[in-house]
């Protein structure tokens, strides 16, 4: 892992996929101009908003027609800027009435490094509750020159075992694109806990404003160190945040100290209980 700058874009979404994507690209440019970020993280389902306000069938249709075009444009943006970029969007599934809630990781060459499909769907997302998504089952970790990157999406962060699995696979950074609606205390708690539990950086990119269904989000995106320190914190409005990701933080016992950590939550577990 090397030292690099990580940026988060925090924006709202509308009924227009084109407007949402062009806004995302504009804020990516702003983030790069401000800090020279090498990795930029966007909120959950940035192309459509978390709840697009349309039928599952209509959303599944968009995932096969319009959304792949904007994924290609996101690949071009990553190549143009020479960055790693997350592209959170809905992805078509074999079920004609449902989609995957997916995050693509795109490389500076414009290639797809890999993708993660949300494994823990919020109740309103599930088809049996009138929702639109089907769950993924894979938990990949992507080995990049920046470091080893794992991805979780919003509600996934409530489940400690998922982040632990990523850390056990070597993840040093966990990215968490979100459309988080529960209390700010829970949002901050879970980001800090997943970071501290697993000795990883966590970048939580949350939506702000409204989505097409009229749901209101409060932003407060954040980047958290492996010791649980909040390194960067957004407000409740559209904007960007960023900070340096320093591998030296992985081994510290606490922030503001040079003392080395002698414990390891993953290796020190009592396997006999």
- Region 44-64: mean pLDDT is 96
Q: Which residues are catalytic?
A: 44, 118, 154
What are the structure tokens assigned to 240, written together? 């960007």
Q: How far apart are the first and last CA of the chain?
A: 34
For the segment 187-245, what is each residue's pLDDT rounded down to a tens digit? 999 999 999 999 999 999 999 999 999 999 999 999 999 999 999 999 999 999 999 99
**Burial of 110 by CB count in 10 Å (0-12 exposed, 13-18 middle, 19+ buried)?**
middle
User: What structural domains and CATH numbers belong to the chain?
Assistant: 4-251 (3.60.110.10)
The model carries a pTM of: 0.97
Give the burial class of 245: count Cβ atoms within 10 A of its Cβ; 0-12 exposed, 13-18 middle, 19 or more buried.
buried
Q: Find the Cα–Cα–Cα–Cα dihedral 71, 91, 219, 173, rounded to 10°.
A: -80
- For residue 139, the model assigns a pLDDT of 98
pLDDT digits (tens, 9 = 90+) for 81-133: 999 999 999 999 988 889 999 999 999 999 999 999 999 999 999 999 999 99
């Amino acid at each position: 892992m090397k030292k690099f700058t990580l940026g988060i874009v925090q924006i709202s979404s509308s009924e227009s996929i084109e407007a949402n994507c062009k806004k995302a690209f504009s804020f990516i440019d702003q983030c790069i101009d401000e800090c020279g970020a090498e990795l930029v993280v966007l909120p959950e389902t940035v192309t459509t908003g978390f709840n697009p306000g349309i039928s599952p069938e209509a959303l599944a249709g968009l995932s096969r027609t319009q959304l792949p075009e904007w994924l290609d444009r996101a690949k071009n943006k990553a190549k143009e800027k020479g960055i790693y970029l997350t592209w959170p969007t809905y992805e078509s599934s074999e079920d004609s009435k449902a989609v995957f809630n997916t995050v693509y990781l795109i490389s500076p060459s414009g290639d797809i490094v890999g993708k993660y499909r949300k494994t823990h769907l919020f109740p309103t997302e599930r088809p049996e509750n009138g929702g639109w998504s089907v769950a993924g089952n894979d938990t990949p970790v992507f080995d990049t020159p920046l470091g080893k990157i794992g991805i979780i999406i919003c509600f996934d962060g409530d489940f400690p075992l998922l982040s632990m699995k990523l850390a056990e696979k070597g993840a040093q950074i966990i990215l968490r694109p979100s459309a988080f609606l529960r209390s700010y205390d829970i949002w901050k708690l879970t980001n800090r806990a997943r970071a501290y539990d697993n000795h990883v950086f966590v970048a939580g990119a949350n939506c702000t404003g409204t989505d097409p269904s009229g749901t209101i989000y409060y932003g407060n995106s954040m980047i958290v160190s492996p010791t649980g320190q909040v390194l960067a914190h957004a407000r409740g409005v559209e904007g960007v945040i960023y900070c340096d990701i320093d591998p030296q933080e992985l081994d510290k016992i606490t922030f503001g100290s040079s003392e080395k950590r002698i414990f390891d939550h993953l290796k020190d577990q009592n396997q006999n209980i």
